[in-house]
């Protein structure tokens, strides 16, 4: 006999897990389906934000800012230090500990509120049914009076720069560097690209941001856009506007990126490239 619920939520990100908890608090028999696994192969709730988005990026921003301040900002306060070094694996480890704590917190909230956690891939079927496919391929049909779809998002693919998670990485891969790249390229001057570029620039990378649009943060007010450009440039980011990436070629531990701008065809070499 298949399991039956009043509410089934597909996706345990910020939208899904909050909806599941609220439904359970209202007295509805609730289940939440999630397929994401952490590096240890264990179910990890919280979606992109907690696992590979907002939370880990903010943890790295915090660590990188402390390093930058210790290296560049203490002297004006009369504080002198010996040489400041960064242990990147330790920094990444701190980030992972923070993530694990918060995703575990969601699991605890599910347990406290009586939400059933179902691990696997959820597929909406006709007749108030949901197909649940486990990691081992086992399929189960779940009955639900109501289904909430909160399946989230995934990093975009850019044909001229295919991600290999080694030299060319997406936003998830950029959270796992084990050393500071000497030359780091970022495709896209959006929130993610600027955030990750800032992290590694503070740690000493030469960061170049390639933005296809001619205006920096076009959705922002013009005055805000200008000030933001000044701020990021002051941090050391080389932001190239109107630079449309046309291709990339990986050669060992380097990648040569081709792009066009107002001056015509250009190319630049990086040790790592983030597609953001």
Please, are residues 155 and 192 in contact by the beta-carbon 8 Å criterion? no
Residue 259 lies in a domain: yes
Return the SS3 of 9. Answer: strand
Q: Residue 71 is part of which domain span?
A: 4-149
Q: Tell me: the pLDDT tens digits for 175-221?
A: 999 999 999 999 999 999 999 999 999 999 999 999 999 999 988 99
Domain boundary pick from 87, 118, 149: 149
Q: Tell me: the pLDDT tens digits for 34-75?
A: 999 998 999 999 999 999 999 999 999 999 999 999 998 898
Q: What mean pLDDT value characterizes the chain?
A: 96
129 pLDDT tier (thresholds 50, 70, 90) = very high
Residue 66 lies in a domain: yes
Please give the Cα distance from 176 to 216 (Å, whole number): 27
Q: Tell me: the pLDDT tens digits for 76-104?
A: 899 888 889 999 999 999 999 999 999 99
Domain boundary pick from 115, 149, 183: 149
Q: How many domains does the chain have?
A: 2
Please, are residues 64 and 202 in contact by the beta-carbon 8 Å criterion? yes
* pTM score of the predicted model: 0.92
Same domain membership, residue 142 and residue 80? yes
230 vs 117, 210, 225, 257, 267, CA distance in Å?
A: 47, 16, 9, 25, 25
Residue 65 lies in a domain: yes
Residue 54: CATH number of its domain: 3.50.50.60
Strands 30-34, 272-275: pairing is unpaired
The per-residue pLDDT for 153 is: 84
Residue with tokens 């992972």: 96
Please give the Cα distance from 84 to 262 (Å, whole number): 40
Please give the Cα distance from 77 to 235 (Å, whole number): 20
Q: Is the dihedral of CA 43, 48, 52, 55 positive or negative?
A: negative
The per-residue pLDDT for 246 is: 98
- Among 52, 186, 24, residue whose Cα is nearest residue 110: 24
CA angle (24 as vertex; 23, 26 as ends), nearest 5: 65
């Amino acid at each position: 006999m298949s399991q039956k619920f009043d509410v089934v939520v597909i996706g345990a990100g910020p939208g899904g897990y909050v909806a599941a908890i609220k439904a359970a608090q209202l007295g509805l028999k609730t289940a939440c389906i999630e397929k994401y696994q952490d590096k240890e192969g264990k179910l990890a709730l919280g979606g992109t934000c907690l696992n590979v988005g907002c939370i880990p990026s903010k943890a790295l921003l915090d660590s990188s800012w402390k390093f930058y301040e210790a290296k560049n900002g203490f002297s004006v306060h009369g504080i002198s230090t010996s040489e400041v070094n960064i242990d990147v694996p330790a920094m990444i480890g701190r980030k992972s500990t923070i993530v694990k704590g918060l995703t575990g917190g969601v699991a605890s909230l599910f347990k406290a509120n009586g939400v059933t956690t179902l691990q696997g891939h959820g597929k909406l079927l006709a007749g108030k049914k949901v197909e649940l496919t486990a990691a081992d391929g086992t399929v189960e049909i779940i009955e639900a009076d109501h289904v909430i779809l909160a399946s989230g998002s995934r990093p975009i693919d850019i044909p001229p720069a295919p991600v290999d998670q080694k030299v060319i990485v997406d936003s998830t891969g950029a959270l796992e560097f084990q050393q500071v790249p000497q030359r780091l390229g970022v495709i896209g001057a959006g929130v993610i690209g600027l955030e990750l570029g800032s992290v590694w620039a503070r740690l000493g990378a030469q960061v170049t941001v390639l933005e296809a649009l001619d205006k920096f943060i076009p959705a922002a007010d013009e005055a805000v856009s200008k000030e933001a450009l000044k701020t990021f440039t002051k941090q050391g980011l080389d932001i190239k506007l109107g630079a449309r990436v046309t291709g990339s070629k990986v050669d060992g531990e380097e990648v040569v990126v081709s792009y066009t701008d107002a001056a015509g065809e250009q190319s630049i070499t990086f040790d790592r490239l983030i597609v953001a």
